[in-house]
């Protein structure tokens, strides 16, 4: 079979939220864009399979593990997340779709005095970059969240955190991207990239592309893509799992974390509760993912300990996803220093939350414009 050939101004690699939105913004700005996605469909990897949390706080488990120096180095990134959450608020109107975006706040709940002291220390660092986390005592937290166990003695509350529905977001973004005129190629895995004068030659499983610029939005596969042009990226894929329960009466308006262990818990518009928190999935011998039963049990036990009604709420489905991550948690956004025209759009761990702003600043940089939000101190490429 004769392989197809395509010439485009900008080739976006990866059909998750960042790839779709970057292509959408570029096309709206008058830049010709083609998007390629290795999977059978668009947005079915991390962007369509994550738990839908909109994070703004410094994550508590990493704060405990890596300490205050790490948190201070990471803290400027919260300005980026804050701007992205502002974009999330307007996205349903912009897309003319209901995305179940709700910013009812995030609670990191504590069961010991030591956990409260750590939450307070984390809040002080967050405040240094303009993110407010209120410290609640036992009476305050149980008044705000009566669904919590009596064991909770206090919490940190960040009012601007929340949730969105990935199963609504990714189809809406795909439709908007197609309507803008972006050509999307599914089942198109990039196998090689060669630099040439004025751009790149890209080989894929569906044919060859020639592009003046390439944007790497490939998530967990981004390091492999970057290596094709001699760019080393310290990023890996991590297999995670989450679970949704049967619908129950409206009970939990907040995004709930626990300082006692790994947990995120939120209730969807349909009443189902999504339970996650970074628990590992299992990797089969062929590289595909499956739920790890022991981690499922531990995750459910943590949810039941914090929110007792979960103990009588039946789980319906668990699923897995590859999530990209780095050791320092900092974004990798910008033009590769030694590969002119090759751009990286990678926000580790909380890429769903950061997706809109990651796409906007990447589209700015591709066009040679100053980014909508300064990246110094945020992206490792701007240090």
Cα 235 from Cα 67, distance rounded (Å): 21
Q: Tokens standing for 353?
A: 């939350």
Task: Identify which of 327, 242, 326, 241 has the alpha carbon closest to the alpha carbon of residue 283.
Answer: 241
Entry pTM: 0.95
End-to-end CA distance of the chain: 47
- Return the exposure string of 323-346: e unless at least 16 CB atoms fall within 10 Å of the residue's CB, then b: bbbbeebbbbbbbbeebebbbbbb
Low-confidence stretches of the chain (pLDDT < 50) are 1
Tell me if residue 333 falls in helix, strand or coil.
strand
pLDDT tens across 266-289, in order? 999 999 999 999 999 999 999 899
What is the Cα–Cα distance from 217 to 287, expressed in whole angstroms?
A: 21
Q: Going by DSSP bridges, is the β-strand pair 154-158/162-163 parallel, antiparallel, or unpaired? A: unpaired
Q: Where are the domains of the chain?
A: 4-48+168-234+328-382, 105-162+237-325
What is the DSSP code (8-state) at residue 372? S
C-beta of residue 317 within 8 angstroms of C-beta of residue 324 = no
SS3 state at 1 = coil
264 Ramachandran zone, left/alpha/beta (phi>0; psi -120 to 50):
beta
**pLDDT value of residue 302:** 97
3-class DSSP state of 83: helix
Q: In degrees rounded to 5, what are phi and psi of residue 294?
A: -65, -40
Fold match flag (4-48+168-234+328-382 vs 105-162+237-325): no
Q: 315-325 and 183-185: which strand pairing? A: unpaired
For the CA atoms of 136, 139, 145, 147, the dihedral, rounded to the nearest 10 degrees, stands at: 140
Cα(101)–Cα(54) distance, integer angstroms: 9
Residue corresponding to tokens 């001699």 = 230
Torsional sign, CA 197, 203, 209, 214 = negative
- Of 145, 77, 147, whose CA–CA distance to 329 is shortest? 77
- Cα dist from 227 to 200, 216, 224, 284, 353, whole Å: 14, 11, 5, 25, 26
For a pLDDT cut of 90, what percent of the chain falls above it? 92
Fold of 4-48+168-234+328-382: FAD/NAD(P)-binding domain (3.50.50)
Say what the pLDDT of residue 1 is: 41
For residue 76, the cross-strand partners are none
Does an H or E element contain 97, and which?
Answer: none
Q: How far apart are CA 209 and CA 190, in angstroms?
A: 10
CATH fold, domain 105-162+237-325, is: D-Amino Acid Oxidase; Chain A, domain 2 (3.30.9)
Backbone angles phi, psi at 306, to 5 degrees: -85, -40
């Amino acid at each position: 079979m004769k392989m197809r050939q395509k010439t485009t101004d900008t080739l976006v690699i990866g059909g998750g939220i960042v790839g779709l939105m970057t292509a959408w913004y570029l096309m709206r700005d008058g830049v010709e864009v083609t998007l390629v996605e290795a999977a059978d469909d668009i947005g079915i990897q991390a962007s369509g399979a994550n738990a839908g949390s909109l994070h703004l706080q410094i994550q508590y488990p990493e704060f405990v593990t890596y300490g205050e120096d790490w948190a201070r180095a990471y803290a400027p990134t919260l300005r980026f997340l804050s701007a992205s959450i502002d974009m999330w608020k307007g996205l349903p109107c912009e897309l003319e779709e209901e995305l179940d975006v709700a910013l009812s706040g995030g609670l990191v709940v504590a069961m010991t005095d030591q956990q409260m002291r750590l939450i307070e220390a984390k809040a002080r660092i967050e405040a240094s970059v303009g993110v407010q986390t209120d410290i609640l005592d036992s009476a305050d937290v149980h008044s705000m969240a009566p669904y919590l166990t009596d064991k909770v003695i206090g919490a940190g509350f960040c009012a601007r955190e929340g949730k969105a529905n990935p199963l609504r977001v990714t189809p809406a973004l795909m439709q908007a991207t197609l309507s803008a005129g972006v050509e999307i190629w599914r089942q198109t895995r990039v196998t090689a990239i060669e630099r040439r004068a004025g751009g790149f030659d890209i080989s894929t499983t569906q044919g060859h592309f020639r592009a003046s610029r390439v944007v790497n939005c490939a998530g967990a596969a981004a390091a492999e893509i970057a290596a094709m042009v001699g760019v080393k990226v310290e990023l890996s894929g991590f297999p995670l799992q989450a679970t949704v329960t049967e619908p129950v009466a409206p009970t939990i308006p907040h995004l709930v974390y626990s300082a006692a262990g790994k947990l995120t818990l939120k209730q969807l518009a349909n009443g189902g509760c999504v339970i996650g928190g970074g628990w590992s999935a299992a990797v089969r011998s062929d590289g595909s993912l499956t739920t790890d039963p022991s981690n499922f049990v531990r995750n459910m036990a943590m949810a039941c300990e914090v929110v007792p009604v979960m103990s009588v709420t039946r789980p319906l489905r668990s699923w897995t996803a590859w999530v990209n991550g780095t050791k320092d948690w900092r974004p990798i956004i910008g033009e590769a220093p030694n590969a002119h025209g090759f751009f990286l759009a990678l926000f580790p761990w909380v890429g769903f939350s950061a997706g809109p702003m990651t796409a906007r600043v990447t589209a700015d940089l591709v066009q040679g414009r100053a980014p909508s939000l300064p990246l110094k101190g945020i992206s490792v490429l701007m240090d």
